[in-house]
């Protein structure tokens, strides 16, 4: 396994990914709002694209942190997902995803959820492989970069205590 990153670091902007979809009736619950599972699916797709753009490799999802749905998105509205890599470690990276709803009649846009996911970069043999580090450029990039390290520590601690039960 190659664990030494010999690749040039990349700015956060290299992984920025945005996806927009219309919420169709088939993806809604009895209240006519989008199913949580559909949102989770889209989060995983947009997050994986950001991770692939950063790493240049295929990736697998290693972890999804807690996810709170702050407000519903109705059928006919748009769901917009924005993702980028907050920080890269050796073979893994944290991706932040922000989800918005847009009502095209009145132009209103609402932040409906946020999620943090960890992806692992895989080589052609399905083994974890080293990735470029992230260059945080803006003040938000830097805040997310610092916070990603704290989240990683508590994530890995929670993960090891789960397996040691």
Ligand X SMILES: CC(C)(COP(=O)(O)OP(=O)(O)OC[C@H]1O[C@@H](n2cnc3c(N)ncnc32)[C@H](O)[C@@H]1OP(=O)(O)O)[C@@H](O)C(=O)NCCC(=O)NCCS
Question: Which residues form the interface with ligand X (CB under 6 A)?
Answer: 60-63, 89-92, 118, 120, 128, 155-156, 159
d(CA 142, CA 61): 24
Which of 38/155 has CB closer to ligand X? 155
Give 68's contacts (C-beta < 8 A, 6+ positions apart): 113, 114
Sequence-distant (6+) residues with CB within 8 A of 156 are none
Measured from the CB atom, the residue of 14 and 122 that comes closer to ligand X is 122
Torsion of CA 160, 61, 118, 155, to 10 degrees: -20
We find the least distance from the C-beta atom of residue 126 to ligand X, in angstroms, to be 8
DSSP, collapsed to helix, strand or coil, labels residue 67 as coil
- In the bound state with ligand X, the residue whose beta carbon lies nearer, of 144 and 155, is 155
Find the Cα–Cα–Cα–Cα dihedral 98, 77, 107, 116, rounded to 10°.
0
Residue bearing tokens 């993702």: 83
CB of residue 98 to ligand X, shortest distance in Å: 20
Dist CA 35 CA 119 (whole Å) = 24
Q: 106 or 162, CB closer to ligand X?
A: 162
- Provide, rounded to whole angstroms, the least separation between the CB of residue 6 and ligand X: 15
Q: Which is nearer to ligand X, 2 or 71 (CB)?
A: 2
Q: How far is the CB of 131 from ligand X (least distance, A)?
A: 8
Closest approach of ligand X to the CB of residue 129, in Å: 9
């Amino acid at each position: 396994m190659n664990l030494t990153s010999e690749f040039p670091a990349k700015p956060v902007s290299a992984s920025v990914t945005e996806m927009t979809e219309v919420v169709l009736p088939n993806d809604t619950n009895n209240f006519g709002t989008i199913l949580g599972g559909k949102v989770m699916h889209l989060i995983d797709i947009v997050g994986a694209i950001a991770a692939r753009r950063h790493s240049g490799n295929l990736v697998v999802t290693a972890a999804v942190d807690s996810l709170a749905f702050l407000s519903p998105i109705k059928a006919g509205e748009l769901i917009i997902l924005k993702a980028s890599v907050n920080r890269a470690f050796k073979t893994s990276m944290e991706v932040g995803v922000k989800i918005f709803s847009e009502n095209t009649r009145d132009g209103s846009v609402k932040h409906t959820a946020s999620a943090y996911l960890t992806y692992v970069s895989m080589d052609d043999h399905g083994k974890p492989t080293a990735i470029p580090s992230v260059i945080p450029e803006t003040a938000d990039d830097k805040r997310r970069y610092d916070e990603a390290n704290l989240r990683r520590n508590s994530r890995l601690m929670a993960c090891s205590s789960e397996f040691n039960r």
